[in-house]
Amino acid sequence: MEIISISQVDMAIHGKNGPCLVHRIHVKISDVDSRAVEMIEVIRDTSWLEPLKAVERKTFSATSRRTVDRLVEQIRNRTADEVSSEFGEYLISVSAQAALSDHCKHIKVPLAELLKEKVSGNPGFDFHTESHIQLIAFGEAKYSGTSNPYQDALEQIARFIRLEKDSAELAILQNFVSEIATNNFLDGKKAYAAAFSVNAKNPSLIIDNSLKSPHIDDLLIYGELYIIGVEIDA
């Protein structure tokens, strides 16, 4: 995985205003097979359970065990020449989270699939981190093998905010973020990340276009927004 570019964006250039700090990140994955092996290592790593109290450790261990086996099986069974929709979404989630952790000083939270039982419909955000200014970042990942689904990611975030799915996840997330980040959320201070696959000859142009989307407008009232385009050479 390679970071092609990372920068903070002056949204006034795009005719948009707000207190939000907007970050633009371009990620490139050149070897999907190698990245799949790394993903299995990430998913199988249960060291995040160790700092928890006994009850929480028991609960999350039980919740995550079957999910780990299922995700590893799906990753291993991907065909050599095709990235499936479900695998693609995990690929986007894990890669976006790694970019935030390794290059933006974020603290990773275990993948959302590991923390909650999957129910019918969309259960909530795909990945989370705690940002360097101690805001909980709620991430939505969208994958397509042919299009550039940034509109879908931004719309989904706005929809989840209206449905208060971020608030519904706070009881779980408080086990993995700082008390300051939790209190910041209660004070209305939070962050969001829209991560999406990029399929274009000029990936940078697509990421720039996402910054002009009208769906971004409602998100500019929050503390931070991360726009993460993931270019995949399958």
pLDDT digits (tens, 9 = 90+) for 144-159: 888 999 999 999 999 9
- Per the rule left: phi > 0, alpha: psi between -120 and 50, beta: everything else, 215 is alpha
For residues 88 and 143, give the distance between their C-alpha atoms in angstroms, rounded to a whole number: 6
**61-71: buried (b, 16+ CB within 10 Å) or exposed (e) per residue?**
eeebeebbeeb
Domain boundaries, the chain: 2-232
* Element counts in the chain: helices (H) and strands (E): 9, 7
Query: Mean per-residue pLDDT for 4-33?
Result: 93
Residues forming a β-bridge with 28:
2, 231
**CA Rg, the chain, in Å?**
17
Question: Strand pairing of 191-198 and 136-142?
Answer: parallel
Out of 27-36, 93-102, 150-159, 194-203, least confident range: 27-36
Q: What is the pLDDT of residues 88-127, one digit of tens each?
A: 888 899 999 999 999 999 999 998 888 876 543 457 899 9
How many CB atoms are located within 10 Å of the residue 29 CB?
20
Distances (CA, A) of 217 to 149, 156, 165, 227: 17, 13, 19, 13
pLDDT of residue 136: 98
Task: State yes or no: pLDDT of 20 exceeds 70.
Answer: yes
- Per the rule left: phi > 0, alpha: psi between -120 and 50, beta: everything else, 121 is left
Nearest 5°: phi and psi at 164? 60, 35
Per-residue pLDDT band for 59 (boundaries 50, 70, 90) equals: confident
Place of tokens 């931004």: 154
If we measure between CA atoms, which residue out of 2, 9, 67, 10 comes closest to residue 28? 2
pLDDT of residue 39: 83
Q: Which helix (H) or strand (E) holds 157?
A: helix 150-162
Instruction: Confirm if 207 and 6 have CB atoms less than 8 A apart.
Output: no
Instruction: Kindly provide the residue ranges of all beta strands, DSSP E only, lying in 61-183, ordered along the sequence.
Output: 107-108, 127-130, 136-142
